Chain A
Amino acid sequence: GAVVSQHPSRVICKSGTSVKIECRSLDFQATTMFWYRQFPKQSLMLMATSNEGSKATYEQGVEKDKFLINHASLTLSTLTVTSAHPEDSSFYICSAPTGLWDQPQHFGDGTRLSIL
């Protein structure tokens, strides 16, 4: 079945570092990718929607200059957390629809980001 590969699975780095997270669709073309952030004991919060070949759409309150999204190909979308700080520590996860609106989306395994 359709698979979304997300890397890295875990990152621990110092404050001020920029971190890039990749999501690849392995056997389908992902024209759209959703990026979520999930804090402990909370629900998934949509950060932005990336579309291949165009600018991402950010949700209200999400800084586009801090969370850079690139979706340059039909199989790869990246999220870069720039100048990360401890408050950016969270679980980041991507998902991609594979067909019509009423078909299940496919999630990456998530990235646990810890900023020291």
Chain B
Amino acid sequence: GENVEQHPSTLSVQEGDSAVIKCTYSDSASNYFPWYKQELGKRPQLIIDIRSNVGEKKDQRIAVTLNKTAKHFSLHITETQPEDSAVYFCAASSNYQLIWGAGTKLIIKP
């Protein structure tokens, strides 16, 4: 069945440095790729998304890149801040239903 792999499972970076989280998907029909940030005990919150007709999208310190040929997409966070500490999930969708990655725990070291 459809699968989304996400790496790394834990990422620790120094405050101010960049963080990169990578995902690969198996369903070539996937055409919508959201990224969510989830804090402990809270619901996932959409931070950025990208559609299959776009290769890159940026929103201030956050960017997402998509390589449809290789079936992978990445989240880039620049100038990391303590409030960026959370669990991040990638997802892929072809028809409303989201297939989720396993999550990445991002730790920002002061």
A16 to chain B, nearest CB (A): 26
Q: How far is the CB of B107 from chain A (nearest CB, A)?
A: 14
Decide if B43 is an interface residue (CB 8 Å cutoff): yes
Tell me if A's interface is mostly helix, strand, loop or mixed.
Answer: strand
Which residues does chain B contribute within 8 Å of A101, judged by CB atoms? 31-32, 93-96
What is the CA–CA distance of A109 and B43 in the complex, to the nearest angstrom?
Answer: 5
Residues of B within 8 A of A91 (CB): 41
List A contacts of B96 (CB < 8 A). 32, 97, 101, 105
Q: How many residues of A contact B (CB 8 A)?
A: 22
User: Taking the nearest CB of chain B, how far is it from the CB of A96, in angstroms?
Assistant: 10
On chain A, the residues within 8 Å of B93 by CB distance are: 101-102
What's the nearest-Cβ distance from chain B to residue A37, in Å? 12
Which residues on the A side are within 8 Å of B42 (C-beta)? 109-110
CB of A107 within 8 A of CB of B97, answer no
User: By the criterion CB–CB under 8 Å, are B34 and A104 in contact?
Assistant: yes
Q: Which of A65-109 contact B (CB under 8 A)?
A: 91, 93, 95, 97, 101-102, 104-105, 107-109
Contact A108 B43 (CB under 8 A): yes
In whole angstroms, what is the CA distance A49 to B95 when docked? 13
The complex places the Cα of A41 from the Cα of B31 at a distance, in Å, of 27
State which residues 50-108 of B face A: CB under 8 Å: 51, 89, 93-98, 100-103
Q: Which residues of B contact A (CB under 8 A)?
A: 31-32, 34, 41-46, 49, 51, 89, 93-98, 100-103
Besides the known contacts A93-B43, A107-B43, 5 further A-B residue pairs in the complex with CB atoms under 8 A apart: A42-B103, A44-B44, A46-B97, A95-B98, A102-B51
The 3 tightest CB contacts between A and B, nearest first, are A102-B32, A107-B43, A43-B100
